[in-house]
Every structure is written in structure tokens, then in C-alpha cells.
Structure 1
């Protein structure tokens, strides 16, 4: 029995979802077909590749070793298909794009729409997470490219400047800071901050700015989504520091109020790529629409 690309694709999907059922749903296959492909692959390897923990399948050491090679093979095949298809005239293919939360919610939708209108035979699958999550997915070959708002600490990736951004300190319309519209370091220290979780680019920029200014702070609440933070601030639960692009509408309508502070909150939004990646025809077209550059 020969190894097939379909078996590797099914194996990778089981590994990423932790479930035969979910892998089948995402690949549009029956559970029995997924189970059969996994069984055949384990027969070829002569050892089990997963351990069952409750209802979840977890890779063992043999499975983890195979997963790294399987992802590299699948990525190489996908890039070859895109390159061949791109040479045929009309641009076709699928791109796996990652975006950290603020970028994915407020910048990428319009870019994806523009790209789809210009290249209707293509498909872009967007994965959203915080900066660290998106970078990890890109490094393991589960994404083709990513756009993030925070520093990248993965040495397998290259970060290239994409756009400039600015964070702003915001308070609710009824908050005492809303009248003065300016705060001192002492007020920043005693404020109840509502922020994103650890791993978020916005959170890291805020913490770096506070540390550089020598200002201590306390995180009162952590929310995993910017919309929840904005609603919490508007409701008077605390104050926050968010990207201007994320609060532009709330500032315009007076739901939130921008507060001047001594913090340095400018930042660079970045495009991430793997060091060894090749810029395919499809990627090149997407970068042209998004305004990104493959090389520094």
C-alpha cells in the first residue's frame, strides 16, 4: 500500500482539530473515510500516531515527527499547484491568510473583498487569533502569510513593515477622565485597565509603553475580543488602550473619549512570512492588493 497525499492531508487535519469527526467535517468526508485513511497510515508507519485523551486525539512522539514532514510536503505541493495554475492565464488557487484580531476585524475584510473582486477564481481563507497564535500557525505551515499588530518573537519568521498604527487611551463618556481628556502618570497607575489577553499585540505594546514610562499598572479585566473591551469601557468598568482604527467609530459618535497621556503608543503593523517561503504568483497578487512587500 502506497502513501498518498490525501492520507497526509487527513492526518494533518486530525492533528490540527484533535478529532476524526471534525476533520471529516472540514474535509467534507465521512467519519468512516477519515478513520480508514488514518488506519492505513498507521499500518504504513507500523506504530500508532495518536493517543486518545478523553474525546480528543493527541499526537504521540511518532505522530509529531510525521506531522512536521507532512506539513512541509503539503505546503510544497500547494505552492507547486499555485505556480502551475498561475502560469495558465487566469489566477486561481487558495491562500491561507492569518490576521491578528484588530487587523482581521478592521483592515483585512475590505482587502479580501477587493482581492476577490479582482480575482474571482481565487479563494482566501482567513484565520484570526492574537499575534502569537497567528505567528505559530504560520511557522508550522498552516498559513501562507500573516498580518500582525505586535512584535514577532519567532526566529523562523521574518517581519516586514506593512502600515503604521497608533494606540489611544480611551474612557467611557461618563468617566471622570472624559471631562479632562488628559491624565497623569499617577492616574494611569491607579486606573482599572481592561485589556486583551497575554499574546495580544495590543497588550504587548501597551505594557512596553507603560514599562518605558516607569508606570506601574493593574489589569482589572481581560477580554479576548476588542468589541467586548469597548463595551466594557463604555459601560464604565474601566479604561483601556486600543488601536485607533478599532475605536474610530466610537470616538466619532462620543461613545468613547480619547484621553491624552504621556505614553508613546505608535507602532508598526507587520507582514509575516517564513524565512524559507517562496512568493508564488497568487501571493504576489495578494500582496499587490494589500499594499505589502515580500522583501524589505
Structure 2
């Protein structure tokens, strides 16, 4: 017998709730149906997926390996109907977007790809710059809209509205002793650590230095890098720890390549923003794109929808179904 989609859905629900009872309520099925499906799945895969601790079911190594694969499969399947049933869209035109580094590399590509599935006749051009340059490109009319993370200048002609909140987190490799901790403790974890930093002038670096201003003299910087991908690879290799946006490490944390830690007792959240000229004409295609991007407000704090494009598609499909 082949593995079924329902078995994977039940496995995911049990993994997320750690109890058959809670999983059955979440899926609106009986407890016996959950137990039977789980037993069949484990039998087909040739071994257990959970360790039993009283009434709780905790993922073992096999289960942790299966979980991200199962989530990807269920997300892809849930989007087939939505994608295949899309009507021919009449919206057309061009949108010029600029985004700061984190948003341009980790958020907007997924959103633009999903937007193009729905509106294939709209051409979307995106540039990636730091916040200062992004602001200038919007002000001189080169770009219709900007998505930025850094500090903005005081410009009376600029319209700024909040998008969603991001949070900076500490990154360490999976073999680092800190990987077993729940939080990064500034009192005990700060000293004797090698730090890998973003280059000066980036939005992430500016936010980090502002939030950590009382602790900067205790940070031992061993290298600076100009791109989050380079920093992530260095952390994975064990070269040191770093602080980046949680948005940039969704895939790595899900697969266990990097461990992220929130800083205990320190608010590391920052407000992401959308910028436009106040006198900029809001075309139909631009209005639709900006409304489309508001899906990020529903992606919850862990931003699981960013670990694969199919998960974002699943979120969009659910939103579309709710509007009908």
C-alpha cells in the first residue's frame, strides 16, 4: 500500500500537537482514526516516527527528517486545484519595485512569483538596494514602490506605511553548545564568542547596533560579510555566531542546518515598511500587487510560509478560499 496524503496530514498534526487527542480535534476525526493512520504510516516506513512519553508523542530522528518533507508534499498538493483553476486574467502593465537586502532576497521573490501565477500579464521588475538607495529610487520616480527594513530619512513627499514585523535572532551552528539552549543570554553567552557581522551600512547592521548598543564593547567581531548567505554558510561551518533577520533563515532552521535563538530580555523586533511618493498614481496593477503582498501579515511569527514557495502558495490559496 502506498503512503497517502491523509496519513501525512495526520502525521503533521500529531507532530505539531504532540498528542493523538489534540490532533484528532484539529482534524475533526476520531482518535482511533488518527492512531490507525499513524500506525499504518510507521509500518510502511519500517519504523517508529515518535518517542512515546506518557500521553505525549515526540518526534524521533526519523520523524524530524520526515516532517519538512511531509509539509512540502501536502502544501504542493493543496495548491494544485487553486493553480490549475486560475481564470485568464485581464490585468496587465508594469510594476517597478525596489527592496532592501533581506526583503529583496527572501520575501519579494516568493511574493512576485505567486503574483505572476495569478496575473501573468503584469511585468514586475525588482531591484535590490540598501534602504537609503531604495528611498532615493522611489523619490526620483525610478521605482513605483519600495519595501524596506532600515531607517528612513525625513522626507515630506514620502508616504510610509507599516508592513509587518521582523525579528533579529542569533544564529549558531547545529554542533555549537548553544544549539541546546532556548534563548541567548546576554549575561552568560556574549563573551568568548566569535561574531560574524553584516557590513556597516546595512539595515540589519544598523538595527543590531541600535538594539545592542549597551553590549557592543563585549562583542568580538572576527569577520564582516556583505550578504546574509555568506554569513549563514560561515555559521554552518562553525566559524562563529551571527545575528540576522529570522526571515533569512526559515529554510535552514526547518532543516536543522542552523539553530536560531531569541535574545533573552531584549526586544529585537523591527517594523518593515512600504514606501511610495505621495503624488504617485496608484495603477490597478500596483494596487493589486500591494494588496497581494499584505498576505505576509497573516503568515504568523514563525514565517513557515517562507521556507518553500509552495507553503506561501498554500497560504494564498486558503486566503482566496476564505474570500469566496
Q: Deviation digits for residues 4-45 of structure 1, max 9, x if unmatched? A: xxxxxxxxxxxxxxxxxxxxxxxxxxxxxxxxxxxxxxxxxx
Per the alignment, do residues 152 and 191 of structure 1 end up closer, same or farther by CA in structure 2, a change over 3 Å counting? Answer: farther
Q: Tell me the residue number matched to 2:93.
A: 93
Following superposition, the deviation at residue 145 of structure 1 comes to 0.5
- Per the alignment, in what secondary structure is the counterpart of residue 291 of structure 1? helix
TM-score normalised according to structure 2 size = 0.57
Assess if the C-alpha contact under 8 Å between 2:150 and 2:206 holds in 1. Answer: yes
Correspondence list, 1:67-216, <5 A: 90-155=90-155, 156-181=157-182, 182-185=184-187, 187-188=189-190, 190-211=192-213, 213-216=214-217
TM-score normalised according to structure 1 size = 0.62
Following superposition, the deviation at residue 224 of structure 1 comes to 1.7
Assess if the C-alpha contact under 8 Å between 1:167 and 1:266 holds in 2. Answer: yes
- Per the alignment, in what secondary structure is the counterpart of residue 263 of structure 2? coil
Following superposition, the deviation at residue 115 of structure 1 comes to 2.1
Q: Tell me the residue number matched to 2:84.
A: none
Assess if the C-alpha contact under 8 Å between 1:135 and 1:154 holds in 2. Answer: no
Q: Tell me the residue number matched to 1:56.
A: none
Distance in 1 of aligned mates of 2:132 and 2:236 = 28
Per the alignment, do residues 290 and 279 of structure 1 end up closer, same or farther by CA in structure 2, a change over 3 Å counting? Answer: same
Following superposition, the deviation at residue 154 of structure 1 comes to 4.9
Number of residue pairs matched by the alignment: 203
Q: Deviation digits for residues 157-203 of structure 1, max 9, x if unmatched? A: 33211112111111112223224453334642553322222232211
Q: Tell me the residue number matched to 1:240.
A: 242
Assess if the C-alpha contact under 8 Å between 1:114 and 1:289 holds in 2. Answer: no
Question: What are the ranges of 5 or more consecutive residues in structure 1 without an aligned counterpart?
Answer: 1-88
CA RMSD of aligned residues (A): 2.3
Following superposition, the deviation at residue 215 of structure 1 comes to 4.5
Q: Which runs of 4+ in 1 moved over 4 A?
A: none
> Structure 2 residue aligned with 1:271, among 271, 274, 282?
274
Distance in 1 of aligned mates of 2:290 and 2:140 = 21
